[in-house]
Homo-oligomer: A and B are copies of this chain.
């Protein structure tokens, strides 16, 4: 497989997703090369060939891609901090796109930035593939994924939060929205899903969100997003925060969201009486 398709490179941000992708790749007979991102990656990579790179260092990435004959690249994990201008290093292929790249880094939403990074990597002669292509077992399926299922109130909240998440996605702001009793109470910005859920928990504790209605979190792809990067992801920490926020559950789009540590995550959801639901949406 390595011979025909070239070696697989995995750019690793924070969280467990890069580990699952790397393990899945190895299980499929690949010998992945890992690029843990400096100040972002938070897992140990001693079991894999790896080289730490800085987020803005396209020059080093390009040189390592060439040196290790990498032909496919997966981007996985979260990146909290965008590079400043003085942290961006480039090669000649990158140089022609520099003004566009700097503008996007400064003004674009996450989706615009990720599309740019995909273009830059592919300009190095690599193909960018999605984490879900390497680890398809992480994709959420249709319907209730654990023991709980949304009731009628929850379904109304799902519909409301979906409409909000879609509007948010079109603006390239964030992927998540929370509805409680049919009312949108929080939208995800740069702070991310976890921080938004902590905010909901605080508003609930202050009595600013009804204690009598549970509510749901919906995370959706942005309508225009390249699904090779930044698919909505849920894991154990999401479930813990959904529970702390007093929500009834979380809904994602089946086939367009990743469920990490599936068994543990669903066990934790079941124990907390929280549903995890895969929405069957028309493409």
Q: Contact residues of A with B, CB < 8 Å?
A: 80-82, 84-85, 106-109, 156, 160, 163-164, 167-168, 170-173, 178, 181-187, 189-191, 195, 199, 202-203, 206-213
Alpha-carbon distance between A181 and B168 when the two chains are bound, in angstroms: 18
Residue of B nearest to A160 (CB): B107
Would A182 and B84 count as touching, CB distance under 8 A?
A: no
Q: Which among A81, A170, A191, A195 has the greatest number of chain B C-beta atoms within 10 A?
A: A191
**A210 contacts which of B106, B160, B171, B178 (Cβ < 8 Å)?**
B106
Would B213 and A183 count as touching, CB distance under 8 A?
A: no
Alpha-carbon distance between A80 and B208 when the two chains are bound, in angstroms: 6
Q: Which among A80, A85, A210 has the greatest number of chain B C-beta atoms within 10 A?
A: A210
**A164 contacts which of B106, B171, B182 (Cβ < 8 Å)?**
B171
With contacts A106-B182, A167-B167, A171-B163 taken as known, whether A190 is within 8 angstroms of B213 at the C-beta atoms is no
Would B182 and A107 count as touching, CB distance under 8 A?
A: yes
With contacts A203-B191, A208-B190 taken as known, whether A183 is within 8 angstroms of B108 at the C-beta atoms is yes
Would B210 and A184 count as touching, CB distance under 8 A?
A: no
Q: Which among A80, A160, A208 has the greatest number of chain B C-beta atoms within 10 A?
A: A208
Residue of B nearest to A207 (CB): B81
Point out the residues of chain B lying under 8 angstroms from A181, CB to CB. 106-107
Alpha-carbon distance between A202 and B181 when the two chains are bound, in angstroms: 29
**A186 contacts which of B109, B160, B184, B190 (Cβ < 8 Å)?**
B190
Would B182 and A173 count as touching, CB distance under 8 A?
A: no
Alpha-carbon distance between A261 and B152 when the two chains are bound, in angstroms: 47
Would A173 and B190 count as touching, CB distance under 8 A?
A: no
Residue of B nearest to A113 (CB): B183
Point out the residues of chain B lying under 8 angstroms from A211, CB to CB. 84
Would A80 and B206 count as touching, CB distance under 8 A?
A: yes
Residue of B nearest to A39 (CB): B207
Point out the residues of chain B lying under 8 angstroms from A178, CB to CB. 189
Alpha-carbon distance between A106 and B214 when the two chains are bound, in angstroms: 11
